[in-house]
Amino acid sequence: MAKNKFNKNWVHDHINDPYVKQAQKEGYRARAVYKLKEIDEAERLIKPGQVIVDLGCTPGSWSQYVRNKLAKPAGGGVEGTIIGLDMLPMEPIADVHFIQGDFREQEVLDQLETVVAGRKVDLVLSDMAPNLSGVAVTDAARVEHIIDLALEFSQAHLKPSGALLVKCFNGSGYSQILEKFRQEFKTVIAKKPKASRDKSSETFLLGKHLKNSQ
């Protein structure tokens, strides 16, 4: 009974969510786009000509936003390269190179290398989150593991001047993640966009300028 009530409350909140309505109106696949939009507008992360990788990109709203930012003014194509990776399938987005698979696997990395064609990446985005169990210690470990993967990926592929934006959660394990970011990046900023639900402990960490690039 409680679960049904919770589900009904969630559906009610979701239907009446202004960001959900705005996303539907503007043709975005998820309300999450407005989190990236707010951070991008504050930090000026996305610029024409960049190589941008979107980890855990499905359903694709972040890739849609990046595509719109890199679109050529005259129409037709983008100025830059957008690569989305996810283990789940994604409906195609014009001018976005989508690679389905686990980016820890060599085969997937080989596909990425082909698209990147020897260039270093300007920006890595990760809105990935694990399936949460409700057990704080377990969930903290899962979140930290995903962020470790994004950090490793960035170490290998980012330009020295590049940036990494990841989703994480305040609470158990957050201080360790923050410390890892400070070890890797010269500038580290925590962001809580307005589109993040008030009840959520979700926050975003932005790391800029690698300390030790490969």
**Enzyme catalytic residues:** 167
CA distance 141 to 187: 24
* CB atoms near residue 172 (< 10 Å): 16
What long-range pairs does 77-81 form, CB within 8 A, spacing at least 24?
A: 79/48, 79/49, 80/48, 80/49, 80/50, 80/51, 80/52, 81/50, 81/51, 81/52, 81/115, 81/116, 81/119
CA distance 53 to 6: 35
Q: Are the CB atoms for 126 and 164 separated by under 8 Å?
A: yes
Structure tokens at 16: 């009446």
Nearest to 163 by CA among 130, 120, 118: 120
In 27-173, which residue ranges form alpha helices assigned H by DSSP? 33-43, 61-70, 106-116, 136-157
CA distance 35 to 202: 11
CA distance 211 to 192: 25
Structure tokens at 92: 């195609």
